[in-house]
Amino acid sequence: MTDQLRVIIESVDYEGKGIARVDGKTVFVDGALAGEEVLITITKRKPSFDKAKIIEILQPSPERVTPECPNFGMCGGCSMQHVSFEEQIRIKQQVLIDNLKHLGGVEASEILPPVKGVAWGYRHRGRLSARYVIKKGGALVGFREKSSPYVADMHECLVLPKHVSNLIPVLRDLISQLSIRERIPQIEVAVGRHVTILVVRNMDALSSEDEALIRQMVDNNTSAEMALQIWLQPKGPETCYPFYPQEAPRLSYEIKRFTIEMPYYPSEFTQVNPYINEEMVGLAMDLLEPQANEVIADFFCGIGNFTLPIARHAKQVVGIEGADALVKRAKQNATYNGLEDKVAYQVCNLFTINEKWVSELGQFDKWLIDPPRDGAMELVQSITPQSAPRRIVYVSCNPATLARDAGILVNAKGYTLVKAGIMNMFPHTSHVESIALFELNK
């Protein structure tokens, strides 16, 4: 596969790969941008398409920029740093529009202005891989290499907050000194308002010398502005516990517009980008328009990220979530914010429901849906004329499943797709976070 081909890139796909045609066959070119003329070589042939890499950029796009991170191209964490920030957003918005049209057979009456956020230092949640590699001179800590199971040899990460990025070489040195250095596969990062928690996955017990080294590292890297706390995780996520210091500020994030503080454990799901989350919740509330006399359902509610802001304005909110632990945390957060009288929670696997379950749940004025990547097909398919809310706000982390579910709502359940848009939750990656407003036809 060494033949070189000269091609023009027609467009960019949802993963940020350039699309060209060679003898009528689609070729996906890693790192190529729309409008570029590039010299490529085929790296993989499939019956219906080929994959290729760039040998030389003959005519670059004006949207091509020099990546700021020295790890780009080697690290698999980012895929679009070679694209200008504005063009990344335009590409993601087009991905949403194309998915709605081609997968769902629908078009939004209005495309919302994109929620852009900040370009760097946004990632307050992350899972760093760790591996002790003698040939590399010690431990590696970071994201995986691009298209590889190996840990990237990195000393900084520009999408992490600066103080967390600065800890990468510190963690490399620390793990290299531990007696169980070959038994630490990952470090989970959770950055809150006043504390950063690192959850170290220790597959073996620490020695007393290991414990002393960790304490010293924490003491040397805690500041007045941001405390540092180490948790240990000997087995599954449910086994993690605080190691040092035992006492630290509460891990939480804010939704300032609604005067909400959300405490959480580092093992629980929260959005990685608190800046976009703040704007996303605000946009969802603007679209939902909760009123003082309304009863509203929040499906896939998690720890209450949307439930509690809705409760600030609605008469009553019912949050439904599949995990017992998340519902327990959601109830605690409702009480913590003084909203326990306006919120009720239920545990239910929303991937196994039917029309009977939705009907028995009761009639709601409006729904908010925020599913995982698999979407909410079972939920939207179970809507009947009797249970149909007059308005649905759908928050999605996968434009393909949003498009599929939008097709059901519009073509089978009597809704109009009024508005849709993207939120740049993961800058410099191909991940597309989106939001859509559906209204029941009168």
| pLDDT confidence band for 242 (50 / 70 / 90) | very high
1 has pLDDT over 60: no
Domains and CATH numbers, the chain: 1-63 (2.40.50.140), 89-118+273-440 (3.40.50.150), 125-253 (2.40.50.1070)
pLDDT tens digits for range 140-174: 999 999 889 999 999 999 999 999 999 999 999 99
| Alpha-carbon gap, residue 79 to 394, rounded angstroms | 26
Q: Which of 69, 157, 240, 397 is catalytic?
A: 397
- % pLDDT > 70, the chain: 100
78 close to 428: Cβ distance less than 8 angstroms: yes
In this structure, of 5-19, 141-155, 421-435, the range with the lowest mean pLDDT score is 5-19
| Alpha-carbon gap, residue 163 to 6, rounded angstroms | 44
- The string of DSSP codes covering 164-189 is HHTHHHHHHHHHHHSTTGGG--EEEE
| Alpha-carbon gap, residue 27 to 46, rounded angstroms | 10
Q: Which helix (H) or strand (E) holds 321?
A: strand 316-321
Closest to 403 in 3D by CA, of 109, 99, 110: 99
How many angstroms separate the most distant Cα atoms in the chain? 70
Q: Which two tokens stand for residue 165?
A: 């990025």
pLDDT tens digits for range 121-130: 999 999 999 9
Task: Tell me what pLDDT residue 3 has.
Answer: 78
296 has pLDDT over 70: yes
| Alpha-carbon gap, residue 313 to 287, rounded angstroms | 13
Strands in 165-294 per DSSP E: 186-191, 195-200, 227-232, 241-244, 252-255, 260-263
Task: Tell me what pLDDT residue 24 has.
Answer: 92
Summarize the confidence of residues 240-264 as an average pLDDT: 96
pLDDT tens digits for range 62-114: 999 999 999 998 999 999 999 999 999 999 999 999 999 999 999 999 999 99
| Alpha-carbon gap, residue 101 to 53, rounded angstroms | 29
2 has pLDDT over 90: no
250 close to 265: Cβ distance less than 8 angstroms: no
Mean pLDDT of the chain: 96
pLDDT tens digits for range 212-236: 999 999 999 999 889 999 999 999 9
In this structure, of 14-23, 196-205, 219-228, 405-414, the range with the lowest mean pLDDT score is 14-23
pLDDT tens digits for range 336-371: 999 999 999 999 999 999 999 999 999 999 999 999
State the DSSP code for 46.
Answer: -
Looking at this protein, which amino acid is placed at residue 185? P
3-class SS of residue 296:
strand
pTM comes to 0.94
306 close to 368: Cβ distance less than 8 angstroms: yes
211 has pLDDT over 60: yes
State the DSSP code for 81.
Answer: T
Q: Is the peptide bond before 169 cis (omega within 30 degrees of 0)?
A: no
Summarize the confidence of residues 37-62 as an average pLDDT: 95
Active site residue 75: no
Q: Which helix (H) or strand (E) holds 107?
A: none
State the DSSP code for 374.
Answer: T
| Alpha-carbon gap, residue 219 to 213, rounded angstroms | 10
Q: How far is CA 341 from the centre of its chain?
A: 31
